[in-house]
Amino acid sequence: MKKINCIVVDDEPLARELVSRYINKLKDWEIKASCRSVAEAYEALYQNDVDVIFLDINMPNKTGIEFLSTLKNPPHIVFTTAYAEYAAKAFDLKAVDYLVKPITEERFTEAIGKVERLVMSAETSSVTRQENDHVFLKQDNRLVKVMFEEILFIEALKDFSKVHLKEKTMLISAHLKMMEEMLPQTLFLRIHRSYIIALNKITAVQGNIVEIGKLRIPVGSTYKDELMKKLGLN
């Protein structure tokens, strides 16, 4: 299973520390940010690829439920709250689980199992799609068939992804992380938190820049080694 990236959002320091302590015991999990407010959570989502949010409900300025309702393509959500009465609303919003404080490690582990099953199911689905030579992408209210060979690179634009094709571009309502999971790793590679490229479209590499024809795309420092391996240059 791939590494699962998460953030913890709670205005109570002790609550954040408890959830973080449980997560740090897990294999293949990484905490990308510990957030005291919804504002910090927005920033963490912008800066990182996040698979799961552990989200408190009662917080200053905006509740966890209000925050979730603003996300167009939210990650998996596990609510952590002292109030049981919001459970129905939480599950209406497709929360994976609803943990009532004080959260025991046994109950937390049960929620983790639910998340991991969903992640593994998505990975299996992704592998199945990779047997094809195309992918269907949702644009407006249509599913558009796009051949892998037509894709040059994909660019993150907040809640959307801009797919650059040979002859045009498409704006897709999906995070870059979702696009990464949909595309075959043999053909495409994430080279930056904002870019995925088609490996066979690379015409040159210069320092931390990849060239696709006349286009110049930055390579993030944490992605450079994997790019060099894929190109047989390391």
Does residue 69 share a domain with residue 157? no
Does residue 124 share a domain with residue 138? no
Per-residue model confidence as pLDDT tens digits over 46-82: 888 899 999 999 998 889 999 998 887 789 999 999 9
Does residue 179 share a domain with residue 84? no
Q: Residue 143 has what pLDDT? A: 85
Does residue 156 share a domain with residue 103? no
Per-residue model confidence as pLDDT tens digits over 12-41: 999 999 999 999 999 999 999 999 999 999
More confident residue, 206 or 132: 206
Q: Residue 46 has what pLDDT? A: 84
Contacts of 77 (CB under 8 A, 6+ apart): 52, 53, 55, 68, 90, 93, 94, 95, 96
Does residue 16 share a domain with residue 92? yes
Look at residues 101, 128, 155 and tell me which one is the last residue of a structural domain: 128
Q: Residue 170 has what pLDDT? A: 93
> What range does the domain containing 153 cover?
134-230
DSSP string, 20-45: HHHHHTSTTEEEEEEESSHHHHHHHH
Q: Residue 124 has what pLDDT? A: 52
Does residue 139 share a domain with residue 108? no
Closest among 191, 182, 214, 212 to 200, alpha carbons compared? 212
Look at residues 128, 163, 184 and tell me which one is the last residue of a structural domain: 128
Does residue 188 share a domain with residue 118? no
- Band of the pLDDT at 125, cuts 50, 70, 90? low
151 backbone φψ class: left, alpha, beta (φ>0; ψ -120 to 50): beta
How many angstroms separate the CA atoms of 157 and 162, rounded?
7
- Band of the pLDDT at 137, cuts 50, 70, 90? confident
Contacts of 7 (CB under 8 A, 6+ apart): 31, 32, 33, 34, 35, 41, 44, 45, 48, 50, 52, 53, 54
How many angstroms separate the CA atoms of 181 and 45, rounded?
17
CATH number, domain with residue 56: 3.40.50.2300
Q: 49 and 5 in contact (C-beta within 8 Å)?
A: yes
